[in-house]
Amino acid sequence: MNGFMQWFKSSNKMKRWIFLILIGILLACYGLAEIIVMKEISFQEVGKVVVIFVLGFISIVLGLIFLNKRTLEVLIESTDERMENKKNVNVKSLIFDKTVYDQGPNIVVIGGGTGLNTVLYGLKNYTSNLTAIVTVSDYGDGVTNSRKQLEMLPLDDIKDSIVSLASKEGEIDKLFNYEFTKGKLKGLNFSDIYFSAMKEINGNFEDSIIKTNEVLNMIGKVIPVTLDEMKIVAELANGYIVEERNKIPEIVSDKVTSINRIFLNPSNCRPAPGVMEAIKNADCIIIGPGSLYTNVIPNLLVGGVVRAIKDSNAIKVYISNIMTEPGQTDNYSVSDHINAITEHCGTGIIDYCIYDTGEIIPEFIKKYNMGGQDLVEQDIDKVKGIKFLQRNLSMISNGLIRHDPNLVASSIIELVCDDLKYQDKQNDPQYLMLNNKLREDKRINKIKKTMQKKEQKNKVEETRVGKHKVKNKGKSKSKSKFSNKYSERIASIREADERIKRKNSKGMPTTEKKTAKETNTSDNKKPKKEENNVEKPKQNDKKPQNPKKSKNKKVGKRMK
């Protein structure tokens, strides 16, 4: 009985169609009853009965169709692991939903770090024909105790990519990053133990990673770009050579210079088995996003990789970074990122560049500015021979600006669909299934984005109302779309800076501190009055002893 009542829960959306069927039955029965009891038949009465009966019949048919469709959706949502932890998912064409992953486009993603994992996390919702070609290189921190004892290669990027492609990424993440704290295994990392055991079982490192796909039920596969242990070396503009990957940004900043080029040591690193075949058979090759000089370009410098990409018939797409990276891409624009890749690899390696709109909430941009980072300038006019696509790719995660995996993936799949359409494959099953799923995901992402913006706006509004109100609200509009959209928040940030300056101005002589306490109200009580109604000091007040304080406009007025 309890199982039967589950079908009538509001979340299952069954009752509406059952109700529609009941209405249809009532209308059809009413129409039949009218005909039976009718003594005189007139044209008007017959028309009325026919209309009622037809409406009832249509309601019954529609109710049965949508009830069966919704039943199928509920069954798929309850059994399909991809539907877990997703709310308000309206699944369409579920009969083909499983097929779209197996028959989806063959996509190769090249890179490393957080950027690569973001792309993989989003794309695994569209295709299982997914290959990640990942950097294998030390960060220069020295060999860990776990790696030293088990004699393992640096697998951080490979491990993170495997986690991103796992169907249960949360649990796999905890497991792979677990470090033993007791007994003989103390100091050893589970992922190193796992790969060491897989290597012994399968005989080589490459097979152990590929077999991981079956063991962990991964969607797609991960391949190291090379099995040779390589070092990423940077040559700076001042001629200085940096041989430790993790020290490149620090030394670049300390020497006040820039990166001239990146090269591998040894320079004759061979691609791992499977790398060349994956690139050759790809429908789409994705490069980036990620650290330009330590994750993106190094993969392309492995012997034969660039030539294979150029010879491939796949769509070559570069996903541009949203923010610059201190010590690597300071003051870099979109064109600077692309030029760095072409200088190392030559032309013909990028067909499309997808970059973000740059419309990010000012509070977060300011936070990055304080750390020496800024938005990547969108100077696309400086690059020729590449098609640029501007998309809304950014999101805020734990206070950090990140690529949204779903938005990045949908942008890539949209490009694949457009390519199929260009080849007159609109009736191809792959195109139909991808396009259908893409439209539905866009609708869901739009709803989520709207809800996130409302939540962020409400938080900022609550904070601002609790402290102060924006002056001259709505008097003028900025010419910039960005400034117009976030004008209130920008004004809020500026006023916060002014309050900090006023607080700093309290570092004045003792006599003037007393005057300030007597004449001004506290910041916590009435900040608005403090801004607009500053009381003038008495005429016999002394001039400030520190000449720097006179730069403040309000102090200047008080001196007069």
In sequence order, the 6+-apart residues with CB closer than 8 A to the CB of 277 are: none
Dihedral sign computed on CA atoms, order 290, 261, 140, 285:
positive
C-alpha to C-alpha distance for 189 and 147, rounded to whole angstroms: 8
Tokens of 110: 């090249």
pLDDT tens, position by position, 515-557:
444 444 444 444 444 444 444 444 444 444 444 434 444 333 3
pLDDT for the residue numbered 348? 92
Task: Give the strand pairing for 394-397 and 400-403.
Answer: antiparallel
Distance from C-alpha of 432 to C-alpha of 440, rounded to nearest angstrom: 13
Answer whether 172's CB lies under 8 Å from 188's CB. Answer: no
List the structure tokens of 37. Answer: 């009891």
Looking at residue 521, what is its pLDDT?
44
Reported as a single tens digit per residue, the pLDDT across 394-427 is: 988 888 899 999 899 999 999 998 887 777 777 6
Integer distance in angstroms from the first to the last C-alpha of the chain?
Answer: 86
Name the phi and psi angles at 134, rounded to 5: -115, 145
Q: Which two tokens stand for residue 430?
A: 């792959």
Please check whether residue 361 is in contact with residue 394, taking contact to mean a CB–CB distance below 8 angstroms: no
- Alpha-carbon distance of 46 to 305, in angstroms, equals 77
Single-letter code of the amino acid located at 505: S
Cis peptide leading into 289, omega within 30 of 0? Answer: yes
Structure confidence at residue 168 (pLDDT): 80
What pLDDT, on a 0 to 100 scale, did the predictor assign at position 323? 94
Q: Amino acid identity of 318? A: Y
* Run means of pLDDT, 10 residues per run, the chain, 560 residues: 56 78 89 78 80 89 86 63 47 48 84 91 90 76 67 80 87 89 86 88 81 84 87 92 89 90 91 93 94 94 95 95 93 95 94 91 86 91 92 88 92 89 72 77 76 71 56 42 61 74 63 44 43 43 43 38
Distances (CA, A) of 124 to 161, 407, 439, 448, 485: 12, 13, 17, 19, 34
DSSP state of 538: P
Residue 363: predicted pLDDT: 82
pLDDT at 79: 54
Residue among 228, 294, 235, 238 nearest 267 (CA): 228
| 356, 392 contact by CB (below 8 A) | yes
The pLDDT value given to residue 283: 93
Give the per-residue pLDDT at 158.
87
Q: Which two tokens stand for residue 296?
A: 């993106």
Structure pTM?
A: 0.67
> Measured between alpha carbons, how far is 512 from 523 in angstroms, rounded to an integer?
17
Handedness of CA 395, 400, 405, 408 (dihedral sign): positive
